[in-house]
Amino acid sequence: MSARTIVIDHGSAFLKAGLSGWNEPQLVLPSVVNYIPCRENPGPSYARRRVSLGIDICRPDTFSYPVQRGRVINWEGVEHIWSFILEKHRLEHGDFPVIVTESPLREPVDRQKTLEIMFELLDVPSVLLADQLEMSLYSSGLLTGVVVDSGCGLTRVQPFHLGRPLRPGTKTLEFAGQDLSAYLFKSLFKEDYNRHNLFQLDTVASTQMHKCYVPQNLGEELDFYQGLPSGADESNIYHLPDGTAVELTPMQRLAPEMFFSPQVFDLQGPSLSQATMESIEACEASLCPLLASHVVPCGGNTLYPGFTTRLYQLLDSHFAPTKASVFAGSSRHFSVWLGASVVAHLSTYKSEWLTKQEYDESFRM
């Protein structure tokens, strides 16, 4: 272990990176790369394109997300982003060990590819691969509890007891923030929607950030809006970048209801709250009261106003007379990174680190 460690948490929408010991990551980047044809060889192959970070405003149709639904689909893009992160830190701070968080959905071949990039291409001294949900639990200061993580690509529920995952309670829902974005794209722009249109991207992102919330009761909230005359609620007005005023529909503002009533949005599977209840009840009966009283929400979707209150009320009524508790930290969108930052300095994880020498001896052919 080192006095300082570079922590990289690579999600489907954003990458969070920084030195351990800080209260938040120093770099938060969109997990986006774009491929631009070279002028000399404008063909479609990888050899004839150059990769860069972010969105090229001159060619907005060339960007893509190298991580989707918690799985890496473009390792070249991932390598390019990691290379940028490490070069920046090395210029400012020098060479340090690296923690890379990983999705529980990763296959052994993905772990091997991560180690190959880190040791053979980026030449890091040592690496620790850390489970994202476990790191979220540690960021709350708990060893026992239920992590409810909802990010851009996946919604996952995982109970832990004394730091160990309880596998019977594992739940993965294939709807998350990108599905909410897709709903807003289609409802705001109808048949003209285009996810590579920068104006539409900005409109959807701004609507999600500033206008959407989780109602405590969907029916009552819809009745409330129905009783309002058009234009009466100023907070329901959204101003487009060109200055045009648009009145959002009630369901556009209430789009995060998707996590509690997916069937309303034609999505399959249980709701996030139902999955959390089923996760707890799948564990040993004697642990259920303890788990219900230590629920840890994390991920960007849990930041919507009303989210944690709705989750608490549903869990509390379901598990009564057991008292449910929801630990909603203000930095829960950085929970994975914060937990890994803590783990970087724990002696109990010393045996989990892999050095470059050990990798060269055991993994390289």
Structural domains in the chain plus CATH codes: 6-131+336-363 (3.30.420.40), 140-175+264-319 (3.30.420.40), 177-251 (3.90.640)
Quote the pLDDT of residue 48.
55
Quote the pLDDT of residue 183.
96
Using CA atoms, how far apart are residues 55 and 67, in angstroms rounded to an integer?
15
Quote the pLDDT of residue 235.
74
Quote the pLDDT of residue 90.
87
What pLDDT, in 10s, does the model give residues 262-306? 999 999 889 999 999 999 999 999 999 999 999 999 999 999 999
Using CA atoms, how far apart are residues 123 and 332, in angstroms rounded to an integer?
32
- Crossing angle of the two packed helices 335-343 and 132-139, in degrees rounded to 10: 80
Q: What is the mean pLDDT of residues 138-149?
A: 96
Quote the pLDDT of residue 241.
66
Any residues with CB less than 8 A from the CB of 37 and at least 6 apart, and which?
A: 43, 44, 48, 49
Whether 47 shows a pLDDT value over 70: the answer reads: no
CB of 93 within 8 A of CB of 62? no
- Between 217 and 364, the more confident residue is 217
Closest CA to 188 of 211, 170, 166, 165: 211
Closest CA to 104 of 172, 10, 164: 172
Whether 67 shows a pLDDT value over 90: the answer reads: yes
- Between 47 and 19, the more confident residue is 19
